[in-house]
Chains A and B, each alone.
Chain A
């Protein structure tokens, strides 16, 4: 596709359920990022992949959050035993390379609501 694609666009989960959020980056993009954007806030970094390698997961808020990119393209962010504080928009971004001059391309995000 022409841009970063995220699915689903909206997800409602009951507290305690597991969810999986998908990100399809732009074809050929090496770097992939996940951000969490709480209501009324700016996005906050969660994790970073270079190809299939997860090089930075310092932003993951708890061990209930897990991300993978097994073949270096599509990535999945999984949240286990969801809590109300997990409600947020989850943004995925990709870039051609992990260099400073490589611009980030963002998807439209997945809005997760935990009830």
Chain B
């Protein structure tokens, strides 16, 4: 079974600074998808960024980028120019395309605090 590990329960960053959230996963598949989701207090899971494993280029979405290391099974999220609105729980997730469509396996999350 696939597992997703987030080893940082909490992280803190100053406004306008950069922070990196870590994620590792375990799979025997060669083709899969990885995601970072943001969960604010409203509880709604919001997609931040996604990465297809067959793509070597790291995904980027505005201030959000990933460092995808397939051999190391590592998928970290970098948030640049942090804003107060970035404060939330962040979950790393894995999707196995050979299983149930869109069935996700989540990590335990990292709580990000943004300070002035």
Contacts and interface: CB of A to CB of B under 8 A. Distances in A.
Contacts, number: 67
B30 interface: no
A102 B102 CA distance: 8
A41 interface: yes
Interface stretch (A64-72, A77-85, A89-97): A89-97
Interface string B95-115: 101001111111111000000
Interface size class of A (residues with CB under 8 A): 20 to 34
A98 B91 contact: no
B44 A31 contact: no
B84 interface: no
A107 interface: yes
A107 B44 contact: yes
Given A42-B106, A42-B108, A100 B101 contact: yes
Contacts of B42: 108
Contacts of A1: none
Interface string B1-12: 000100000000
A70 B73 CA distance: 40
B47 interface: yes
A99 interface: yes
Contacts of A108: 42-44
B33 interface: yes
